[in-house]
Chains A and B, each alone.
Chain A
Amino acid sequence: MTRVPRGYIARRRRTKMRSFASNFRGAHLRLNRMIIQQVRRAFVSSHRDRGRQKRDFRRLWITRINAATRVYNVFDSYSKLIHNLYKKELILNRKMLAQVAVSNPNNLYTISNKIKTID
């Protein structure tokens, strides 16, 4: 049989992976075998954490809203604030509430007043 080299197919595949590993550390960005492993792990983490991200941020917003309601004496706690929001059918989500709490605490007061007056 004549000699048939494999050509550039494998190399192309590996170079594609290399671009993802361009900011890895040490041998993990230089050696092909390590690149394959590490890039696969990176993709898995990325996929899993896209779901996690939604959870994590909601957690953070809730903690911040909790702190803000206690600091500014709007309501006694996060739970009471959310309960009252739902009762008055104000559909502000937690992301917005957290942003409001951090940047514009005065608007928290206007929200709470709105809740207390609509009745």
Chain B
Amino acid sequence: MLAKCQVLAVTDASFFITLQKALAGLRRINLDGLRWRVFDAKGQVLGRLASQIAVVLQGKDKPTYAPHVENGDMCVVLNAKDISVTGRKMTDKIYYWHTGYIGHLKERRLKDQMEKDPTEVIRKAVLRMLPRNRLRDDRDRKLRIFSGNEHPFHDRPLEPFVMPPRQVREMRPRARRALIRAQKKEEANRAKEEGDTKNAKADATA
């Protein structure tokens, strides 16, 4: 295991850290009558994905749910760096926390957090959707998030999670007009490029 970790460390330092975090505390989780559900965060909206994860993590999708017993499935989230948010949240969503010292209210924007550690974004979102009780820490232990596609759980019986179908609201008129304008501009650029290359070829041949 250590050799494997060293090899991986050469390739990607941050992945090595998440690998350590990923395998940490697996022994503490009791039953393995649990399923391993894999969520692909690529292109998913942050909050909507997080609420589904929270439901699965609590075990609320099982008919044998009991609120005093921790029976949620293991959740593996991949491609955390490809999570998407709507609106201007990438630049405008701020995470606040207070260190306890007076005047020390810290903040960090979503953009910076994604550069620093994209897994924390999803982790915060999911943890803040779980009920704040004594089972919350155990549920946190069952949640494993990875920035990319690689994860060390290939020998487990993994089940991909299918997101429930979603009614995407149609675009607001101003946003739609902006989108159409952007599309037209791109088409114009592409046409111009093709025209340029054709002219260049014509000049070359002539």
Task: Give A contacts to B, CB under 8 Å.
Answer: 60, 63-68, 70-71, 98, 101-102, 105
Q: Which residues of B contact A65 (CB under 8 A)?
A: 63
CB <8 Å contact, B63 and A71:
yes
Task: Tell me the minimal C-beta distance from B162 to chain A in angstroms.
Answer: 12
Asked if B60 is at the interface (CB within 8 A of a chain A CB), the reply is yes
Complex formed: what's the CA distance from A63 to B67 in Å? 10
The secondary structure that dominates the A interface is helix
By beta carbon, the residue of chain B nearest A102 is B63
Asked if B65 is at the interface (CB within 8 A of a chain A CB), the reply is yes
Asked if B30 is at the interface (CB within 8 A of a chain A CB), the reply is no
CB <8 Å contact, B66 and A67:
no
Task: Tell me the minimal C-beta distance from B73 to chain A in angstroms.
Answer: 12
A71-B61, A71-B63, A98-B63 known; 6 new pairs, CB 8 Å cut-off, are: A60-B65, A63-B60, A64-B64, A67-B61, A102-B63, A102-B64
By beta carbon, the residue of chain A nearest B55 is A67
Q: Which size class do B's interface residues fall under?
A: under 10
Complex formed: what's the CA distance from A79 to B56 in Å? 19
CB <8 Å contact, A64 and B61:
no
Task: Give B contacts to A, CB under 8 Å.
Answer: 60-67
By beta carbon, the residue of chain A nearest B63 is A68
A-B pairs with beta carbons under 8 Å apart, 10 shown: A60-B65, A60-B67, A63-B60, A64-B64, A66-B60, A67-B61, A67-B62, A67-B63, A71-B63, A102-B64
Complex formed: what's the CA distance from A56 to B1 in Å? 47
Q: Which residues of A contact B62 (CB under 8 A)?
A: 67, 71
CB <8 Å contact, A67 and B67:
no
Q: Which residues of A contact B67 (CB under 8 A)?
A: 60
Complex formed: what's the CA distance from A65 to B65 in Å? 10
Complex formed: what's the CA distance from A71 to B61 in Å? 7
Complex formed: what's the CA distance from A66 to B63 in Å? 8
Complex formed: what's the CA distance from A105 to B60 in Å? 17
Complex formed: what's the CA distance from A70 to B65 in Å? 13
Complex formed: what's the CA distance from A101 to B62 in Å? 10
Task: Tell me the minimal C-beta distance from B65 to chain A in angstroms.
Answer: 6
Query: Most B CB atoms within 10 A — which of A67, A98, A101?
Result: A67
Complex formed: what's the CA distance from A116 to B61 in Å? 24
Task: Tell me the minimal C-beta distance from B163 to chain A in angstroms.
Answer: 13
Q: Which residues of A contact B65 (CB under 8 A)?
A: 60, 63-64, 67
Q: Which residues of B contact A102 (CB under 8 A)?
A: 63-64
Task: Tell me the minimal C-beta distance from B123 to chain A in angstroms.
Answer: 25
Complex formed: what's the CA distance from A102 to B60 in Å? 13
Query: Most A CB atoms within 10 A — which of B61, B63, B66, B67?
Result: B63
By beta carbon, the residue of chain B nearest A100 is B63
Complex formed: what's the CA distance from A60 to B63 in Å? 10
